[in-house]
Amino acid sequence: MSPGIGAIEYVLPAGSFSLQELADAELLASSPSQLQDFGFDRCYISTEPADELALRAAAALITNADVDPESIDLLLYASALSQNHQLATEHSLSGFNYPAAKIQYELGLTRANVAGISQAGCTGLNYAIKFAADILQANDSANRILCVSADVLPKGSKREIFYNVISDGACALLVERRPQRNQIIAQRSITKGYYWDCISRKNEIMAAYFPTAKNLFQELLRAAECDPKDLRMVFPHNVSLRSWEILLDLIGVRKDQLFSENIPKKGHVIGADNWINLKDAMASGALNPGDKLLAFNFGFGANWTATLIEH
Amino acid sequence: MRQTVLITGGTGMVGRELLPKLCSDEAVENVIVLTRGTTQSVLNSKIQVLHGDVCKPDLGLEEACRQSIARHITTIIHGASETSFHLVLSEARAINVGGLENVLRFALNCPCLKAFCHLSTVYVAGKRTGVIHENDLRHDCGFVNSYEQSKYEAEELLSSQAHRLPIATVRLSTVLGRSTDGTVTKTGAIHSALRFFFHSLAPLVPGTDESPVDLIALDYAAESVALLALQQFVPGATWHICGGSDAFSLTEFLEQTLQLFYQNRPAWRKRAIEKPAIVNLKTFELFVKSIEDLGDSVLKNSVFVLKSFAPQLAYPKLISDVKTQRALSSCGVTRPRIRDFYPKVIRFLLENNWEAMPQAQASLSVRQ
């Protein structure tokens, strides 16, 4: 049996803002109407640092899933932004103040090793899940890995990146050897270092997105012998709905297979989108045992990841 | 009989390649090149450059001059046209139909005229799909751009004059470069699209996997036109100078191009650039709209080029040249195989940084 995702919890900040409010605060580059046309409506902005959101998400998971903190073998902490990987103060040593270690201590994960995953853009949490699943399959003595991501843009940052509306937020997942649900059937990822300079290669990145995503999808589904029509749901990263319409056609997936309702409501919560969407879909009762689910994400670097799950 | 040929569009891509072929025909005494441009370095004694404009009444020529040349002309090759895919229809029509109308009027006053050869495009077939035969013209399927439509309307005009003049039509496919060494003398939309592909700026192409990509060699185009306008002229005939059954499929074209980029630029492989994805027209148009909405200049340039002609691939058609092949092969003209010369063209474009051969060098071919 393959490992899978035993539990998910997420935390969004209290402050939610409409596109017009964001425009009034000069936090958008495009007009609200254009972004609305792309499927966005509002986003969440945190006044708390990333590590606080991460801690709350992880704590909620430990409590709600009734997990013994000492049963966690490894904690993987992911964030797209380098500043979210440290609890920086003016002291030069504060660069070594790591949120992962803090979470381990606060939650009493005394047996867990900790490590961070960075430099993978919005795909950091997906890479954490991939590495966790690989570790569980390779190491018989490990059973539970806690993956946590947190992304908070610096105060005053524009809330629009590449025509997508960005939210702050955190998500925690428990990757287990024998999950009751959400078994990971297959995972694929591609990194293309040519696009490392996301400023000067902005146009090329936008162009590379579709054909690379298509190939990744097709390779994943081929490996899993799964037809796109058999997917119960696709969990997107919450980028422009327009870009999803194009991508859906490329991969032969119908629009009604896409769980898109969080794009307007929550915006693009950097690394957490796929799993927030899975959690919400489960909560809505829309999923049945055995459903095939697919999560796709893209991150600067550039990275493309896709995960096929059986609910 | 000694022939005097009037050519319009003689300084264009095909026209420039055509001139030495015409001059090398022993039956041709004079070649009059009607051009709006400045005099080029023409060193062939058979060539006479005449300043005029097909869009003007009497071709913009003085009465005396017009009468003087009209007396001697035996063949007219009308190749002047506006080949931009981006003009509004009225502008394209003014040149491609209006210009033809003026040349036809001039031709009616040429007492020795034996042949009027009109250069057209195989894409007068517009949005038709399936097999397109040489004798096909009229349809109501619509067009991808104003160039196609204006050239279609020009052919309709020609049909109406067929009883008054000895007219033949030569429809050309997309001209890529010379088959011998891959030289490109003028870049067009296809070369720009390849450049965008190389720079990872052409992510989506409309069409189907099997859509034919019909491309021809410049030298083949010129040699065929010369033959069909002179030695093999047949009044009322329509010819297709195209790849026909030799055409790439769209999938093969993209794969071949990618492999040629790898071969010619080994370091390019590190970029891991994907082949453009083949999509249906609706998805391509949604992508175009999205990019246009974004106001992003470089990708917008790519989309601007692609949208002007690539939708043709969403209307798959096999251009038949059975009749033309029969006529040309009887004269020893063989169609170069695309799989043989395409690699040379790609190498030329890469070695020349996607630029065409400078005009000064290109015009040397006209010299004796």
Confidence band, pLDDT 50/70/90 cuts, at residue B38 = low
Give me the pLDDT at residue B364, please: 38
The sign one gets for the Cα dihedral A286, A290, A291, A293 is positive
One-letter amino acid for residue B150 of the chain: S
Give me the pLDDT at residue B316, please: 98
Check CB contact of B302 with chain A, cutoff 8 Å: yes
Give me the mean pLDDT over the B127-145 stretch. 97
The Cα–Cα gap between A65 and B322 comes to 73
**Residue B60 φ/ψ region, left for φ over 0, alpha for ψ in the -120 to 50 degree band, beta for the rest:** left
Interface predicted TM-score (ipTM) = 0.89
Percent of chain B's residues with pLDDT above 70: 95
Nearest to A70 by CA among A103, A107, A116: A107
Confidence band, pLDDT 50/70/90 cuts, at residue B45 = confident
The Cα–Cα gap between A43 and A50 comes to 16
How far B195 CA lies from chain A's nearest CA (Å)? 13
The sign one gets for the Cα dihedral B361, B362, B367, B368 is positive
How far A35 CA lies from chain B's nearest CA (Å)? 10
Give me the mean pLDDT over the B211-225 stretch. 98
Give me the mean pLDDT over the B116-132 stretch. 98
The Cα–Cα gap between A206 and A214 comes to 14
| Residue among B270, B283, B296 minimizing CB distance to A203 | B296
How far A242 CA lies from chain B's nearest CA (Å)? 7
Give me the pLDDT at residue B42, please: 63
Give the number of other CB atoms < 10 A from CB of residue B181.
12
Q: Do the domains at A4-176 and A183-310 have one common CATH topology?
A: yes
Computed over every residue of chain A, the mean pLDDT equals 96
Assigned fold of A4-176 = Peroxisomal Thiolase; Chain A, domain 1 (3.40.47)
| Residue among B270, B283, B296 minimizing CB distance to A194 | B270
Residue B367, pLDDT above cutoff 50: no
Give me the pLDDT at residue B361, please: 55
Give me the mean pLDDT over the B123-141 stretch. 97
Residues (pLDDT < 70) of chain A are: none
Give me the mean pLDDT over the B341-347 stretch. 98
Interface contact B275-A194, CB threshold 8 A? no
Place of tokens 């040593």: A93
Dihedral over alpha carbons A252, A255, A261, A264 (to 10 degrees): 90
| Residue among A163, A215, A246 minimizing CB distance to B287 | A246
Minimal-distance CA residue of chain B relative to A248:
B283
Phi/psi of residue B26, nearest 5 degrees: -60, -25
Residues in chain B with CB shorter than 8 Å from the CB of A202 are 296
Check CB contact of A25 with chain B, cutoff 8 Å: no
SS3 A170: strand
Interface contact A34-B293, CB threshold 8 A? yes
Minimal-distance CA residue of chain B relative to A241:
B290
Interface contact B290-A242, CB threshold 8 A? yes
Give me the mean pLDDT over the B109-120 stretch. 97
Give me the pLDDT at residue B296, please: 66
Beta strands in chain B (DSSP E): 3-8, 28-35, 47-51, 75-78, 115-121, 130-132, 167-172, 174-177, 204-206, 212-213, 215-217, 238-241, 248-249, 277-279, 317-319
Residue B359, pLDDT above cutoff 90: no
CA angle A176, A13, A125 (to 5 degrees): 30
Give me the pLDDT at residue B168, please: 98
- Complete domains list, chain B, with CATH: 3-173+216-242+319-333+358-366 (3.40.50.720)
CATH of domain A183-310: 3.40.47.10
The Cα–Cα gap between B155 and B149 comes to 10
Provide the H-helix boundaries in A139-259.
Answer: 202-223, 241-251
* B247-272 per-position pLDDT tens digit: 999 999 999 999 999 999 999 999 99
Give me the pLDDT at residue A1, please: 77
Report the predicted TM-score, pTM, of the whole model to 2 decimal places.
0.91
**DSSP type of residue A198:** T
Give me the pLDDT at residue B40, please: 61
Give me the pLDDT at residue A298, please: 97
Q: Where are the domains of chain A?
A: 4-176, 183-310
Phi/psi of residue B113, nearest 5 degrees: -65, 125
Computed over every residue of chain B, the mean pLDDT equals 93
* A56-115 per-position pLDDT tens digit: 999 999 999 999 999 999 999 999 999 999 998 889 888 899 999 999 999 999 999 999
Which residues numbered 229-258 in B keep a CB inside 8 Å of some CB on A?
Answer: none
Q: In the sheet that B115-121 helps form, which strands lie side by side, from edge to edge?
A: B47-51, B28-35, B3-8, B75-78, B115-121, B167-172, B238-241
Nearest to B126 by CA among B154, B147, B99: B147
